[in-house]
Amino acid sequence: MEAGAVKRVVIAGGGTAGWVAAAALVRHLGPLLSITLVESDEIGTVGVGESTIPTARSFHNLLGINEPVFVRETHATFKLGIAFENWRAEGDRYFHPFGSVGRSVWMGDFQHFWLEAAARGFAAPYGAYSPEQLAAEAGRFSNDPEAGLAYAYHLDATAYARFLRGLAEPAGVRRVEGRIERVTRDGESGFITGLELASGERVEGDFFIDCTGFRALLIGETLGVSFEDWGQWIATDRALAVQTESVGPPVPYTRAIAYGAGWRWQIPLQTRVGNGLVYASADLSDDEARQRLLDALDGRPLFDPRAIRFRTGMRSSAWSHNCVALGLAGGFIEPLESTSIHLIHVAVTRLLQLFPFHGIDDAIVSRFNAQATREGEGIRDFIILHYKLTERADTAFWRRCRDMAIPDTLTQRIALFAESAMAYQAGEDLFRVDSWVAVMLGQGIRPAHWHALAQLMPDAELRKAFTDLEAGVRARVAKLPPHEAAFAN
């Protein structure tokens, strides 16, 4: 590709993606770059993702973010996992906790010992060995490192973008207000050279970051990078989002509640609750979806539900020419496991590591795209897992999910666990072994076999190990304060 030093970075679009990129670039590469962000107050943000995963904490550490200030400014609460209701079957419930469950050894993970103990008749439910699950269900939490809990955040996405802007602008990021009307390119290289605004102003740059949302103005409309649609596996294509008044103390977990044509979320913040309905338009009309959501709300809605249309999938290349797409411009994986903000964080981190200071190099671009593709496909498979492993047959939607063909990568994972209780985290996989195990057990897989290592333990020894482990987790959780104490001040 074309050589030439990269000194001027232009971020097209604001919102969470734009201001995450701006804050990270100026924090770590500020003296080396001129950073300009172009956004229009006329264009709203989608703002569906108000929930994160524990990797957000690591990213915030990279930015030097003070957690109490962040929690106050974004009205955040803490999150220890996700409760899945009605997914395996109507009336069923399981929990996907953050952190490690039980204790593992190098030869075999905890689930092998748990399955052996269950077969002998003295294992408690799997979640009884997770501090995060027990704390979540008891409404307890502490972010004291001594508590040792793995946690993430529920947050106000609009306030989060505003908070990051408050870090980025004083550090040197220039914000330009205006609507982008035209993107210009070099006639020979095809590289983007500038953004022309409705005001007549032109913003030029050496490197561009597309944060223009579903429109994908740079990566899609201008550079023509194709979109790989995953609708054959994840059929939901609509969402409604609304905020409601709180009716009780916020719980430290997200609820994902399945129904006949999709699922709905419930995300508690300090002063309100985020609610939404994700559905397949082939199975539910927009009017029916709106009424279903309104009927399910616990508190008074603060505005009319906002409608969002989407396609699940990714751009075939996240980086093309001198442009990287972030957030919705690069793709969308429905928010079932709260991965949207993570994908922005990890892409920006990857860009910092691979930044093309001396020009756009094919090897760097290929490396960036390969990592992004592998991570995106891994998350895709994890989401499909929830739909595929269902026993529901009450609607056409769930029957299609149960019977659909799935990617070979996921077929192999399911077969490995079903036969031998083996799970793994490979390469660019986001989700750890504990996550795969929690969901596969929760969705109803009971492995035919497990590692024989656990068979070496006599009954008395295995029983004592499990009794002590469960008692230790319960004692640890009992010492934790109520969740709301963590953001009371």
- Whole-number Å distance between alpha carbons of 78 and 147: 14
Phi, psi angles (nearest 5°) of residue 334: -45, 150
Q: Could you tell me the two tokens for 401?
A: 């999910």
Place of tokens 């550090």: 171
DSSP line for 274-333 = EEEEEE-TTTS-HHHHHHHHHHH-SS-BSSPPEEEE---EEES-SEETTEEE-GGGTEE-
Residues 184 and 291: their CA atoms lie apart, in Å, by: 45
**Measured between alpha carbons, how far is 99 from 171 in angstroms, rounded to an integer?**
35
Q: Which of 79, 388, 464, 479 is catalytic?
A: 79
DSSP per position, 400-446: HHHH----HHHHHHHHHHHHH------TT--S-HHHHHHHHHHTT--
Separation CA 63–CA 167 (nearest Å): 9
Strands 262-268 and 254-259: antiparallel
CA distance 394 to 386: 16
**Pairing relationship of beta strands 262-268 and 313-315 according to DSSP bridges:** unpaired
CB 260 within 8 A of CB 394: yes
Determine the Cα–Cα distance for residues 26 and 9; give it in Å rounded to an integer: 10
Which one-letter amino acid corresponds to residue 56? A
* Angstrom distance (rounded) from CA 419 to CA 310: 36
Instruction: State whether the Cα torsion 116-119-121-125 is positive or negative.
Output: positive
CA dist 41 and 45 (Å) reads: 10
Catalytic residue check, 79 = yes
Distance separating alpha carbons of residues 298 and 446, to the nearest angstrom: 35
Annotated catalytic residues are 79
